[in-house]
């Protein structure tokens, strides 16, 4: 057999027509037929491996055919049918792929057609890249030659020829509807499946009447309703309202996690791209170094949540004791917490699975996904910086500076290029203190990872307004320097012992008042905490005050980096 390769991919073979005739035994076993042509079963005579040979009806579309080969060859994934080679004959074009023994999803659902093949273990494998488009950077492309199965086609593509990544989301949404209903999108004399699900959702009704009766039992209803809701979002006419592929994956995995206590396995799949050492595969009740708790265990640990420690904007914190008498803080989210399990996995678990290790970061000891909303278990700290600042206890300047310096080092560590994580909620109540007043930064619920441009846009503004970067509040655009602003407010609180109350902190309250006093007097002395404003301490307080003003500068370019902040505090 002739053995050659594509010039840019040595793994793709070029076959002659004679090769294909031998492989298919002169096209003797037809296994599929469609609008494109026919599919034959074959055997590679030098490897004894079964293959599928796809012979196209039109032999004059060589450019389009080679584009399909190129795209298919570039995309490698365990759930994509592997392309082995191709043949450009005098009158025909043929592609050779791995053979899938169990047909396809279309056949499994409706007993005909070619769509999503299933291997011997009924594992899905995606095929047919004939209509694929390379959309670099998520751009939109237009075409005047609309092709594809109309029942699965994005209406925007159908009417305007406009192709985006959300076009695939629409088609996948239709597939989801077929999976849970075992009905075709459009059946002769039957319902329009998309319209029926949309109407049921709009009326606030469940999807039970539309579901496949073979699987629509009480045990499955929660996951089926969840898939139905996701599918309706995928087939939204407005492409901007459709979820992206990453969101779809996570939501489907978490729906599955809600079934039969599969949370641990699903979390590992969600974060399978994390470094191997982060995920412990040797223990079924561990996630990295964090223990997987059951809801019943947490009730026992907290004595049925009887010892309340604190309340946040979306959670309560309770004191608990583990079997070995280790004290813990159990963070339980409110039932009205909108993020739920999906946002927990995409935001909080991102931090859980990230290699952020620092002696001044609160250690996560465990998680409970069985609880709804989810629950986090942290190492215990008796109090936080806010408790100390706003009570009548003595609070020496030396100790305040120590806490500020160590906290700045934590933020510098988070902002480093290796980690590139914005904390997102820097405030005194999120700086815990152990018995030796050593600070431990906590509360990573609003954390955001950054790419090279060091910026990301949030769908909605979250956080305590008193410590929130005005730039973030007004634009929803988050930068690492948003943490710098928040830390600047904490510095002001440390040297004044005043709370930064005010509906608009940059115009009213501590931030604006300190800036006004400093501008008028070239000094912040009038606002320093009298308990530490001794003649000996004034120079130190002035330096901290000037640094704080740089941090809260409304011009981002004028703010220092956290590395610069940490270095300046070290020198004070």
What residue numbers does the annotated binding site cover? 54
Cα 105 from chain centre: 28
- The rounded distance, in Å, linking the Cα atoms of 523 and 441 is 30
H or E stretch at 142: strand 141-142
- Asked if 323 and 400 touch (Cβ cutoff 8 Å), the reply is no
To 10 degrees, the CA torsion angle through 39, 40, 42, 44?
Answer: -40
Q: What is the maximum alpha-carbon separation in the chain?
A: 99
Query: Of 434, 416, 403, whose CA–CA distance to 354 is shortest?
Result: 416
β-strands 83-88, 9-14 pairing: parallel
Burial 524-539 (b: 16+ CB within 10 A, else e): beebbbeebbeeebee
DSSP 8-state class, residue 134: -
Establish how many alpha carbons lie within 13 A of residue 568's alpha carbon, considering only the half-sphere containing its beta carbon. Answer: 19
- Asked if 94 and 54 touch (Cβ cutoff 8 Å), the reply is yes
- The rounded distance, in Å, linking the Cα atoms of 342 and 345 is 5
Residues tagged in the binding site annotation for ATP: 54
- Asked if 428 and 386 touch (Cβ cutoff 8 Å), the reply is yes
Find the helix packing angle between 263-270 and 245-257, rounded to 10°: 160
Burial 39-60 (b: 16+ CB within 10 A, else e): bbbbbbeeeeeebbbbbbeebe
Query: Of 223, 142, 224, 153, whose CA–CA distance to 185 is shortest?
Result: 153
Q: Is 106 strand, coil or helix?
A: helix
- Asked if 456 and 448 touch (Cβ cutoff 8 Å), the reply is yes
Cα 340 from chain centre: 13
Q: Is 514 strand, coil or helix?
A: helix
Q: In the annotation, is 212 catalytic?
A: no
Query: Of 250, 235, 247, 241, whose CA–CA distance to 178 is shortest?
Result: 235
Other Cβ atoms within 10 Å of 134 Cβ, number:
10
Angle CA 445–447–452, to nearest 5: 160
Cis peptide before 359 (omega within 30 of 0): no
CA distances from 486 to 249, 313, 365, 371 (A): 34, 17, 27, 32
Alpha helices in 381-525 (DSSP H): 385-389, 397-415, 470-475, 481-496, 510-521
Catalytic residue among 128, 154, 425, 464: 425
Query: Of 549, 536, 546, 550, whose CA–CA distance to 398 is shortest?
Result: 536
* Enzyme catalytic residues: 425
């Amino acid at each position: 057999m002739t053995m050659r390769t594509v010039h840019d991919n040595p793994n793709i073979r070029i076959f002659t027509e004679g090769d294909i005739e031998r492989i298919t035994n002169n096209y003797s076993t037809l296994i599929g037929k469609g609008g494109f042509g026919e599919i034959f079963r074959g055997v590679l005579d030098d490897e004894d491996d079964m293959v599928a040979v796809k012979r196209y009806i039109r032999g004059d579309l060589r450019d389009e055919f080679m584009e399909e080969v190129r795209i298919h060859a570039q995309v490698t994934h365990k759930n994509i049918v592997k392309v082995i080679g191709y043949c450009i004959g005098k009158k025909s074009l043929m592609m050779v792929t791995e053979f899938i023994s169990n047909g396809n999803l279309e056949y499994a659902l409706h007993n005909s057609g070619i769509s999503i093949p299933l291997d011997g273990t009924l594992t899905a494998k995606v095929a047919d890249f004939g209509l694929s488009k390379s959309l670099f950077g998520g751009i939109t492309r237009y075409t005047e030659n609309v092709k594809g199965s109309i029942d699965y086609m994005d209406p925007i593509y159908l009417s305007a020829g406009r192709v985006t990544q959300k076009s695939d989301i629409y088609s996948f949404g239709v597939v989801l509807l077929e999976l849970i209903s075992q009905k075709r999108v459009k059946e002769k004399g039957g319902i329009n499946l998309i319209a029926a699900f949309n109407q049921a959702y709009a009326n606030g009704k469940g999807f039970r009447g539309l579901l496949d009766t073979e699987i629509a039992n009480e045990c499955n209803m929660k996951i089926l309703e969840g898939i139905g809701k996701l599918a309706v979002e995928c087939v939204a006419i407005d492409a901007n309202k459709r979820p992206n592929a990453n969101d779809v994956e996570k939501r489907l995995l978490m729906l599955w996690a809600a079934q039969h206590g599969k949370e641990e396995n699903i979390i590992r799949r969600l974060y399978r791209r994390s470094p191997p050492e982060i995920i412990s595969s040797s223990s079924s009740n561990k996630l990295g170094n964090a223990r997987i708790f059951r809801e019943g265990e947490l009730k026992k640990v907290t004595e049925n949540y009887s010892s309340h420690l604190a309340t946040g904007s979306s959670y309560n914190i309770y004191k608990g004791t583990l079997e070995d008498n280790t004290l813990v803080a159990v963070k339980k989210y409110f039932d009205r917490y909108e993020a739920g399990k999906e946002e927990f996995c995409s935001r909080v678990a991102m931090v859980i699975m990230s290699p952020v290790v620092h002696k001044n970061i609160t250690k996560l000891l465990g998680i409970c996904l069985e609880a709804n909303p989810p629950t986090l278990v942290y190492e215990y700290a008796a109090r936080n910086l806010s408790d100390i600042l706003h009570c009548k206890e003595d609070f020496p300047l030396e100790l305040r500076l120590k806490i500020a310096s160590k906290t700045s080092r934590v933020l510098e560590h988070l902002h480093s290029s290796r980690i590139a994580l914005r904390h997102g909620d820097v405030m005194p109540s999120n700086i815990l203190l152990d018995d030796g007043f050593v600070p431990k930064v906590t509360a990573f619920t609003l954390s955001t990872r950054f790419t090279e441009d060091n910026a990301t846009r949030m769908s909605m503004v979250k956080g305590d307004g008193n410590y929130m970067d005005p730039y973030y509040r007004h634009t929803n655009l988050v930068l690492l320097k948003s943490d710098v602003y928040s830390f600047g407010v904490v510095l002001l609180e440390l040297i004044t012992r005043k709370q930064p109350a005010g509906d608009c902190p940059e115009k009213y309250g501590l931030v604006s008042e300190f800036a006004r006093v400093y501008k008028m007097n070239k000094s912040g002395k009038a606002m320093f905490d009298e308990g530490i404003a001794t003649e000996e301490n004034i120079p130190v307080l002035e330096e901290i005050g000037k640094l704080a003003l740089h941090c809260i500068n409304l011009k981002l370019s004028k703010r220092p980096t956290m590395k610069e902040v940490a270095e300046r505090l070290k020198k004070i």
